């Protein structure tokens, strides 16, 4: 059984070995740049850990795990462009270092590279992994479309938001876990439990990101604090604040949302103050813990030795309780 550190080292080594030295450099340099920014590498690590629960040889899960990590970074590259974000992992985003057209084309190339890597899956498992990944990739696009549509709507329900983040964020974590389980030789029932575990921890982690955007430290979060507030992003916090606000609080929030020119620091401070008045932070934390507890129930249902789940539980616990 490999440690999490050993798995991460394997992932980083393999990422550096992805061939990106083709001409023209202008296409591949942005890909190398965004992959070099690091990140938690949680998606490929989950795939390898899930495989390792059932099989000591994780070799067969490496290529599809890499493909899913490249795909994830492709979505970040395009998300940053759509959101006009300045920073990713505390570094300038690709479209800021280069330009929008380069970000689009390099992102397209990343998607192709992701499919090339997944195409190297053991033929015995290729159809199952390919079908799962392509369904997941389409669902992520659906989630992104919902996210964009929410920007132009004055009212978004909590249920709609949770479905959007399930599609945009949680399904890829679930896909990585289920893929690793399939490649490790898990039963169909166990593979589904790991998928459901991924959905629930994915929802919990995204709610954690919503909190970090307001209450986090930019040095550890890697993005500017308050970015969601400045662009009127419909997060769990804003949706519930608008739902629970008094008439006066709702008027203040609505007026700031309607303004096209404003002082960003002042807007962030006012929104945060109202969130505090409405106890939105505690509400969000409670929802996070609810999803996380449900996820652990699926993990506990696995037909696998308990000690083989310890690393997975430890890693997810650390992510769940990242410092705000």
Q: What is the mean pLDDT of residues 202-227?
A: 82
Question: Does 185 have pLDDT greater than 60?
Answer: yes
Question: Does 6 have pLDDT greater than 80?
Answer: yes
Mean of per-residue pLDDT scores for the chain: 93
The percentage of residues in the chain with a pLDDT greater than 70, rounded to a whole number, is 97
Q: Which residue segment(s) compose the domain that 77 sits in?
A: 4-320
Apex CA 315: angle with CA 314 and CA 319, to 5°? 115
Dihedral sign (CA 261, 258, 228, 111) = negative
Both structure tokens of 238: 């804003």
pLDDT of residue 10: 95
More confident residue, 21 or 70: 70
Residue 6 CA, distance from chain mean position: 22
More confident residue, 231 or 270: 270
The domain total for the chain is 1
What are the C-alpha distances in Å from 128 to residues 74, 173, 198?
Answer: 22, 16, 18
pLDDT of residue 216: 83
> Has this prediction a pTM greater than 0.85?
yes
pLDDT of residue 154: 86
**What does the alpha-carbon distance between residue 311 and residue 7 come to, in Å, rounded to a whole number?**
11
**What does the alpha-carbon distance between residue 275 and residue 28 come to, in Å, rounded to a whole number?**
43
Question: Does 222 have pLDDT greater than 60?
Answer: no
Dihedral sign (CA 198, 200, 201, 207) = positive
Question: Does 324 have pLDDT greater than 60?
Answer: no
Q: What is the mean pLDDT of residues 92-104?
A: 95
pLDDT of residue 223: 57
pLDDT tier at 231 (50, 70, 90 boundaries)?
confident
pLDDT tens column, 116-174: 999 999 999 999 999 999 999 999 999 999 999 998 888 999 999 999 999 999 999 99
The 3 state secondary structure assigned to the chain is: CCCHHHHHHHHHHHHHCCCCCCCCHHHHHHHHHHHHCCCCCHHHHHHHHHHHHHCCCCHHHHHHHHHHHHHHHHHHHHHHHHHCCCEECCEECHHHHCCHHHHHHHHHHHHHHHHHHHCCCCHHHHHHHHHHHHHHHHHHHHHHHHHHHHHCCCCCCHHHHHHHHHHHHHHHHHHHHHHHHHHHCCCHHHHHHHHHHHHHHHHHHHHHHHHHHHHCCHHHHCCCCCHHHHCCCCCHHHHHHHHHCCHHHHHHHHHHHHCCCCCHHHHHHHHHHHHHHCCHHHHHHHHHHHHHHHHHHHHHCCCCCHHHHHHHHHHHHHHHCCCC
Interstrand relation of 87-88 and 91-92 (parallel, antiparallel or unpaired) = antiparallel
The percentage of residues in the chain with a pLDDT greater than 90, rounded to a whole number, is 84
pLDDT of residue 38: 80
CATH of residue 65: 1.10.600.10
Residue 87 CA, distance from chain mean position: 16
Give me the phi and psi of 87, to 5 degrees please. Answer: -130, 145
pLDDT of residue 220: 55
């Amino acid at each position: 059984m490999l440690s999490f550190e050993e798995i991460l080292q394997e992932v980083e080594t393999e990422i550096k070995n992805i061939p990106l030295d083709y001409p023209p450099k202008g296409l591949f340099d942005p890909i190398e740049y965004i992959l070099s920014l690091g990140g938690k590498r949680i998606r490929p690590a989950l795939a390898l850990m899930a495989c390792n629960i059932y099989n000591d040889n994780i070799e067969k899960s490496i290529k599809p795990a890499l493909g899913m990590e490249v795909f994830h970074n492709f979505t970040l590259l395009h998300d940053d462009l759509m959101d006009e974000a300045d920073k990713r992992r505390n570094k300038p985003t690709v479209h800021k270092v280069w330009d929008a057209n380069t970000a689009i084309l390099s992102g397209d190339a990343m998607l192709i590279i992701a499919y090339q890597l997944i195409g190297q899956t053991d033929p015995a498992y290729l159809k199952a992994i390919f079908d799962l990944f392509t369904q997941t990739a389409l669902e992520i696009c659906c989630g992104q479309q919902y996210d964009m549509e929410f920007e132009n709507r004055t009212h978004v329900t909590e249920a709609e938001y949770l479905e959007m983040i399930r599609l945009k964020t949680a399904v890829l974590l679930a896909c990585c876990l289920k893929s690793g389980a399939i490649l490790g030789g898990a039963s169909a029932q166990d593979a589904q439990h790991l998928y459901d575990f991924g959905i629930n921890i994915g929802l919990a982690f995204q709610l954690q990101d919503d909190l970090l955007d307001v209450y986090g430290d930019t040095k550890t979060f890697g993005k500017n604090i308050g970015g969601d507030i400045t662009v009127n992003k419909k997060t769990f916090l804003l949706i519930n604040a608008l739902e629970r606000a008094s008439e006066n609080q709702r008027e203040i929030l609505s007026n700031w949302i309607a303004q096209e020119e404003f002082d960003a620091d002042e807007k962030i401070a006012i929104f945060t103050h109202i969130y505090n008045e409405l106890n939105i932070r505690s509400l969000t934390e409670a929802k996070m813990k609810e999803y996380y507890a449900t996820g652990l129930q699926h993990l506990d249902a696995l037909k696998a030795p308990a000690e083989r789940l310890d690393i997975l539980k430890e890693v997810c616990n650390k992510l769940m309780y990242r410092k705000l």
